[in-house]
Structure 1
Amino acid sequence: MGKICSKPKRPIFCQPLYLGDDLEELRGRTVHEDDSYISLPILSLPGVVLLPGQTLPLHLFQPSTVSMMSHVIEGDKTFGIVTSSYHSADPYRPVLATVGTTAEVLAVKEENDSRVGVSTMRVKAVGRQRFEMKDTRRQMDGNMIAKVRILPESFLCDPLEGARPASHRRIVGSESWSCMDDTVGQATSHNAEYKGRRKIDRFSCANFTRMPPWVYRQYDAFLLMSRIRKELQSWNETLRPESMPCDPSEFSFWVAANLLLDDAFRLHLLTIDSAIQRLRCELSIMRRCTVLCCKNCNLLIAKKEDVFSMALEGPMGAYVNPGGYVHETLTIHKAMGLRLIGWPSVENSWFPGYAWTIAQCNQCDSHLGWRFTVAGRGRSLRPEKFWGLCRSSLVPGLQKDSENPDDETWRPIM
């Protein structure tokens, strides 16, 4: 497969309703204290690193897992998600990661098949808090219970507060400063009180310190958020800033959930307790990433400007197939180096109104994702075609020879 449909002006967002619209919504929310030690039932999902704020769909079949989830729902509705991997030394024993994320159940639907006497459960959960694994034990039913420490989130004060003049502090402290940028004039342009005044560099007070202003700009959370938003919009105009979180911590996890990062880097971000440091890592990756490549053979698959949002949450989302396997899928407009396997099918489609077809790498035959096309004639869905590619099958890359634009040799950056 080579070229696909041209990029539409604006997609028609559709919510994945494949889990059904009959799930029972649960009320209430559980928040654990920072640095507290608690016991959590653990669900291990290979290839899934849940991040705070990320939605996780589950389709549970095993009786022990269904029973565990029933006890979770009767309690505080919170369990732990930890990814696992297999090493070449012992390919039959999974190795659990040392960090994970608590997941809170938002909606659930339990079904009983009277013919075979098996109970299944559809669950919609969301990531809440980071934790560190301290100890694990297996129960008689095979489920895992872990003692974990809730990892705290560090919030740094303004490093220039002591050097900022009182007149400057009044402007910086105004509510209109919520969308910070390099100058006061830009940030307060919506406030009539300051309209027309001379622009003031809010980092100018750094001249009273030992370090120049550019150093403080590298560690300003709101300026980092502004730069990441501009970088995302340079990729594709469908990534709208108004749908992104405003809190630096929530924004850093939202970016991590929508970037093509491998499991190791996602786990590294979970260990960082500062939103500023997470934003700096993510901005560095975004500026270096130019293409998306096959993880197995490094074949060029797509360019970063082909990424777009098919859901309100962002360009990447977690979806579960009928077999219970969770795929974190990135939506893109067009791809290259892929071939289709089989015929389009609308059965269990993650996007209502679209039919899916399996897509493989044209070079190494690895499964990379699916192509989605509008099912039926006369439908008004946009775009008419797009690709959903698995995060676990791709790796971000950049061109080896930046001076030669005709050199299409790529190398991974992670």
Structure 2
Amino acid sequence: MDEDRIMESERHQIEQIRELDLEELQVEEVENLHGSSDDDTSGRAYRDEFTFDAGLASLHTYLGEVEDTHHRLSFLDSGAILNLPLFYLEGVVLFPEATLPLRVIQPNLIRSVERAMSLVDVPYTIGVVRIYRDSFDGRLRFASVGTTAEIRQYRRLEDGSMNVVTRGLQRFRVRRRWIDVDGAPCGEIQIIQEDLPLRIPRDAFGTLPPLTSVSSPGPSHPTMSNTSHIKRQKCREGKNDFDADSEDSFESELSLKEMRLHQSAVESCYGCDTIDESTSSDDEKNVFESGGSQDSVTVGRSSQSNYQRNTSDALGVGRKAISQQSSHKQEKTRMDWIIMRQTRSHGVPRAFWPFWVYRMHDSYCLARKAADMWKTIVRAPSMDGFTRKPDILSFYIASKIPVSESTRQELLEIDGISYRLRREIELLENFDRVRCKNCQTVIARRSDMLVMSSEGPLGAYVNPYGYVHEIMTLYKANGLALIGHPVDEYSWFPGYAWTIANCATCERQMGWLFTATNKKLKPKYFWGIRCSQVADDMR
């Protein structure tokens, strides 16, 4: 349905309810109902005075009583191909586990719902695909990736229309689409195979041999037989003796200063390339200390650049240092080096990239970072349960992150948990301003977000004419013009009346202002901004 027709319909509803057929609509430009301060102090105080039950908005009580289907569909096999009734929705991107309410009025779509409820293989299932208008020629385009939705609640009204509440299940790709003899849209879809969360770098290293040996702690003064035993143990474990001999030969030629530099460089590799299996933390600090104070080998974290810079100085004085140092000190240094290698709890994996590179693909590490950022920005409760399921977390944030419609479609089409989480982290880092899609006017900032639903700061709601709006809720907005008077009928938020809000610059409908009808209800007012009217650039 065209946006202009939707706006006219909503204006007509206002006129009918308020009996303003002969009265001109009043227009008031609202710059900032809370003041012009850019800091978040007023925002925190505003959120502290919260008395609204956020769980009411997620129930979609404005649809009236709906009956539960008492049917929960099991997940389809990855790669499965099937035919489903399709719902093409403009301005909506459905993700797995997200709720989507529908007001089905058109006869062909009513038949689609009826057909979906009577399917044998996948009953109560429809496919939801986003459609959008091309910015160049204005033609409707169809997304290639959508989401299956399970019909969980429905109600048939006296006029034949239906109120339906669905929930997203699995992503799919559209193979082909058509209109059947009843005019209902249908399509052949293929379920997308989702990857499993991976712990990196363990999975990345695979069976590559370690750079150094892994041994149990040995005696404080190992003998040559101990060293030979270590090499024989390497051979039995399938290690490469050539690597071990090369390392020993190389170390025996080093001076005391060169030895220390070499140890420092190798230890930096330990710090970069080893991983704690439980936390994958890169904040560990491993320090090896030998028994002697003067001749002890101190192992600390030093970058490879320092190693390369200092090595050139060391090579110039290396041979001179050998003549100056006693053979006893050199031998003790080498013995300390052997002790360190034997007492290490684990070796250095021969990875081709530093540890931080592999962490970029660690699903659990990325999930923790994304959850922490989400909790800080949205002020959500504990996200610990989600961090143990990175795949679910990636879809949860994608369905709730207050960004533009096209950006959310981009997130839906990303294959790979780590890639989706990295993109979400990037969006959370860069997201600062909400702009009008048409004229780029700044409407709000990230600190203005307000969670008015238990499902998050962004949700889908349907109006009486069947048009679904995905809106982000804000406690403050600028540059908007109010049209008409507050209307409390068919309000998405119980206890609040809604007023249409247009961009004061380009006069496009940006959303609504919701004002409390009960004096005890807080917040007193807030804004709902349509994601379909938000610019892609959120900086």
TM-score surpassing 0.5?
yes
Please give the alpha-carbon distance, in whole angstroms, between the structure 1 residues aligned to 2:115 and 2:425: 41
Please give the alpha-carbon distance, in whole angstroms, between the structure 2 residues aligned to 1:318 and 1:9: 25
Could you tell me which residue of structure 2 aligns to residue 401 of structure 1?
none
1:221–1:276 CA contact under 8 A, matched in 2: yes
Could you tell me which residue of structure 2 aligns to residue 31 of structure 1?
75
Tell me how far 1:90 sits from its aligned partner. Answer: 6.3
Task: Spell out the pairing of 1:246-265 with structure 2 (5 A cutoff).
Answer: 246=387, 247-265=389-407
The secondary structure found in structure 2 opposite 1:233 is helix
Could you give the per-residue CA deviations for residues 251-296 of structure 1, whole angstroms, max 9, x where no partner exists?
A: 1111111123334333332232211100001111211121111111
Tell me if 1:77 matches 2:124.
yes
1:221–1:275 CA contact under 8 A, matched in 2: yes
Could you tell me which residue of structure 1 aligns to residue 33 of structure 2?
4
TM-score (norm 2): 0.63
The secondary structure found in structure 1 opposite 2:47 is coil
Could you give the per-residue CA deviations for residues 348-371 of structure 1, whole angstroms, max 9, x where no partner exists?
A: 000001111111111111111111
Could you tell me which residue of structure 2 aligns to residue 57 of structure 1?
101
1:207–1:213 CA contact under 8 A, matched in 2: no
Q: 1:223 to 1:370 in 2, by over 3 A?
A: same
Q: Paired residue for 1:222, among 347, 364, 371?
A: 364
Task: Spell out the pairing of 1:108-119 with structure 2 (5 A cutoff).
Answer: 108-113=154-159, 119=160
Please give the alpha-carbon distance, in whole angstroms, between the structure 1 residues aligned to 2:456 and 2:141: 30
1:42–1:80 CA contact under 8 A, matched in 2: yes
Q: Greater shift after overlay, 274-283 or 216-225?
A: 216-225
The secondary structure found in structure 2 opposite 1:45 is strand
Q: 1:166 to 1:84 in 2, by over 3 A?
A: farther
Q: 1:140 to 1:235 in 2, by over 3 A?
A: same
Tell me how far 1:81 sits from its aligned partner. Answer: 0.7
Structure 1: which 5+ residue stretches go unaligned? 114-118, 186-203, 398-411
1:236–1:306 CA contact under 8 A, matched in 2: no
Could you tell me which residue of structure 2 aligns to residue 286 of structure 1?
428
Could you tell me which residue of structure 2 aligns to residue 98 of structure 1?
144
Task: Spell out the pairing of 1:157-236 with structure 2 (5 A cutoff).
Answer: 157-161=198-202, 162=206, 177=278, 180=279, 182=281, 208-236=350-378
Please give the alpha-carbon distance, in whole angstroms, between the structure 2 residues aligned to 1:310 and 1:183: 37
Please give the alpha-carbon distance, in whole angstroms, between the structure 2 residues aligned to 1:20 and 1:137: 33
Please give the alpha-carbon distance, in whole angstroms, between the structure 1 residues aligned to 2:149 and 2:441: 35
Tell me if 1:387 matches 2:431.
no
**4+ long deviations beyond 4 Å:** 88-91, 162-167, 204-208
Could you tell me which residue of structure 2 aligns to residue 13 of structure 1?
53
TM-score (norm 1): 0.81
Task: Spell out the pairing of 1:303-342 with structure 2 (5 A cutoff).
Answer: 303-342=445-484
1:260–1:396 CA contact under 8 A, matched in 2: no
Q: 1:166 to 1:222 in 2, by over 3 A?
A: farther
The total of aligned residue pairs comes to: 364
Tell me if 1:353 matches 2:393.
no
Could you tell me which residue of structure 2 aligns to residue 372 of structure 1?
514
Please give the alpha-carbon distance, in whole angstroms, between the structure 2 residues aligned to 1:387 and 1:308: 9
Could you give the per-residue CA deviations for residues 365-397 of structure 1, whole angstroms, max 9, x where no partner exists?
A: 1111111111033x2x22121111110111264
Tell me how far 1:8 sits from its aligned partner. Answer: 2.3
1:41–1:80 CA contact under 8 A, matched in 2: yes
Which structure: larger Rg?
2
Amino acid aligned to 2:140: P
Please give the alpha-carbon distance, in whole angstroms, between the structure 1 residues aligned to 2:154 and 2:215: 53
Please give the alpha-carbon distance, in whole angstroms, between the structure 2 residues aligned to 1:166 and 1:250: 40
Structure 2: which 5+ residue stretches go unaligned? 1-29, 35-41, 217-274, 285-345
Tell me how far 1:172 sits from its aligned partner. Answer: 6.0
Percentage identity across paired residues of the two chains: 33
Q: 1:181 to 1:122 in 2, by over 3 A?
A: farther
Q: 1:339 to 1:243 in 2, by over 3 A?
A: farther
1:316–1:328 CA contact under 8 A, matched in 2: yes
Could you tell me which residue of structure 1 aligns to residue 168 of structure 2?
127
The secondary structure found in structure 1 opposite 2:406 is helix
Please give the alpha-carbon distance, in whole angstroms, between the structure 2 residues aligned to 1:311 and 1:328: 13
Q: Greater shift after overlay, 381-390 or 100-109?
A: 381-390
Tell me how far 1:135 sits from its aligned partner. Answer: 1.4
2:84–2:116 CA contact under 8 A, matched in 1: no
Amino acid aligned to 2:165: K
Q: 1:228 to 1:120 in 2, by over 3 A?
A: same
Please give the alpha-carbon distance, in whole angstroms, between the structure 1 residues aligned to 2:132 and 2:450: 29
Please give the alpha-carbon distance, in whole angstroms, between the structure 2 residues aligned to 1:317 and 1:166: 56
Could you tell me which residue of structure 1 aligns to residue 311 of structure 2?
none
Please give the alpha-carbon distance, in whole angstroms, between the structure 2 residues aligned to 1:214 and 1:226: 15
1:356–1:373 CA contact under 8 A, matched in 2: yes
